[in-house]
Amino acid sequence: MADKQSRHATRSLRYPTVADLERLARRRIPYFTFDFLKGGTGEELSCARNYRAMQEIEIVPRYGHALAEPSTSTTLFGRTYASPIVIAPVGMDGAMWPGAPRFLAETARESNIAYMPSTMSTMPIEDVARIAPQNTWFQLYGFPADDHAVTFDLIRRADEAGAQALAVTLDIPAPARRVRDMRNGMLPRMRLTPEKILAMLTRPAWLAALSREGAPALVNLRPYCAPGADRKELEAFMRTRRAGGGITWELMKRIREKWKKPLLVKGVMHPGDAVIAREIGVDGVVVSNHGGRQFDPSPASIDVLPAIRAAVGPEMTILMDSGIMSGADVLKALACGADGVLVGRAFMFGLGALGGEGARHVATLLNEELRVALVQSGACTIDGARQLSVRHRGAWAPEDFRG
């Protein structure tokens, strides 16, 4: 334990922010995997909008009162976690850092935070849940063929594996045009070129991890392909079966009937959609523009969050993602109406920068930053954060939404 604390203290001095980890990750992983992680859709305006909107939020601190012991602890869906931070789903996570989902699951278990692996993770949901049985959620993509036979089988598997919550991704009606990936020869499928081989050879730490962990693949899809299906066949299945498509409110009603544990809809940006979700019995929504990776004209997630909170009231659980890069950002999201946040890129930057220890470093770093922000603001607790005075110039008003 002392050695672990000493290593963290040393890392905190060398890499005190997620931005430091991002810079190091760029130098340690191949350019095409970094671009896959960092990039967005179109001109990447919505990516930039997420970060800019978060930076422009102001919180007025309160001083002169006796301070309670700061606590980042919170309750989500009846379970107490050490922090409102949830490790977000990242597709093809093992390509960014080989073995990523294992390290993320171990971090979730050890830090007592939730982890929501993706359907497109490079580790099966069953294995993730074995590593972190009390901390695993599951992010579901729809597969509309055969009346969603694969969709419902994934739900069955997540339930039997012991996933604590299910988040159905709503915001992928069609594949996005991710220009970085197109330029890098990653779409519609990755082409291995001499340039990519050279890029891998010049990243020895990543290459050594790849040698240890094996080539990443969309292993959650293996049961639905021919025995022994390789990476190309799994990716072809994903494309031809329109992964992520076909999610409708009628389907959500069917999923609600099947899934008896906490159920979320991920990708909500309109208050009207959040109200529909509440009315059909969904337990929570994730306010998200998919990290700027789906629809470039979309507003920043944080800017629609207050109107969504106003529409559904205080009882429904609201999580938010897209643009969270520090503990202060977490505080801003809580003050604007969120119950918790999903963080994806920051954890992957940590892995890319520091290998397996990077995920733990990011969890500790964000939690320490949040603890400091709670004290400095005078909030001290997660409940206190919701009472803070916020100036949020970019927030959408309820009357800004049509329909």
Confidence band, pLDDT 50/70/90 cuts, at residue 66: confident
In Å, how far from its chain's centre is CA 42? 20
Exactly one of 65, 148, 270, 290 is catalytic; name it: 290
Residue 100 CB-density burial (10 A; 0-12 exposed, 13-18 middle, 19+ buried): buried
- Min mean pLDDT across 84-98, 230-244, 350-364 is at 230-244
Largest CA distance in the chain: 67
In Å, how far from its chain's centre is CA 131? 19
The DSSP H or E segment spanning 359 is: helix 357-377
Q: Note the pLDDT of residue 2.
A: 61
Q: Which of 171, 173, 195 is nearest to 183 (CA)?
A: 195
Q: 373 lies in which domain range?
A: 2-397
Dump pLDDT digits (tens) for 163-187. 999 999 999 998 899 999 999 988 7
Residue 60 lies in a domain: yes
Do you find a cis peptide bond into 398, omega within 30 degrees of 0? no
Residue 272 lies in a domain: yes
Helix (H, G, I), strand (E, B) or coil at 263: strand
Q: Note the pLDDT of residue 192.
A: 86
130-143 mean pLDDT: 98
Q: Note the pLDDT of residue 10.
A: 84
User: Domain containing 309 — which CATH number?
Assistant: 3.20.20.70
Q: Note the pLDDT of residue 6.
A: 72
Q: Note the pLDDT of residue 103.
A: 98
Helix (H, G, I), strand (E, B) or coil at 49: helix
7 against 237, higher pLDDT: 237
Percent of the chain with pLDDT over 90: 91
Dump pLDDT digits (tens) for 208-221. 999 999 999 999 99
Whether 306 has a pLDDT exceeding 90, the answer reads yes
Residue 402 lies in a domain: no
Whether 1 has a pLDDT exceeding 70, the answer reads no
Q: How many domains does the chain have?
A: 1
Whether 64 has a pLDDT exceeding 80, the answer reads yes
Residue 128 lies in a domain: yes
Query: Does the annotation count 8 as an active-site position?
Result: no
Look up residue 304 and give its two tokens. 């629609």
Residue 403 lies in a domain: no
Query: How does the average pLDDT of the chain come out, rounded?
Result: 95
55-84 mean pLDDT: 95
d(CA 323, CA 289): 10
Conformation bin of residue 126: beta by default, left when phi > 0, alpha when psi is -120 to 50: alpha
Residue 227 lies in a domain: yes
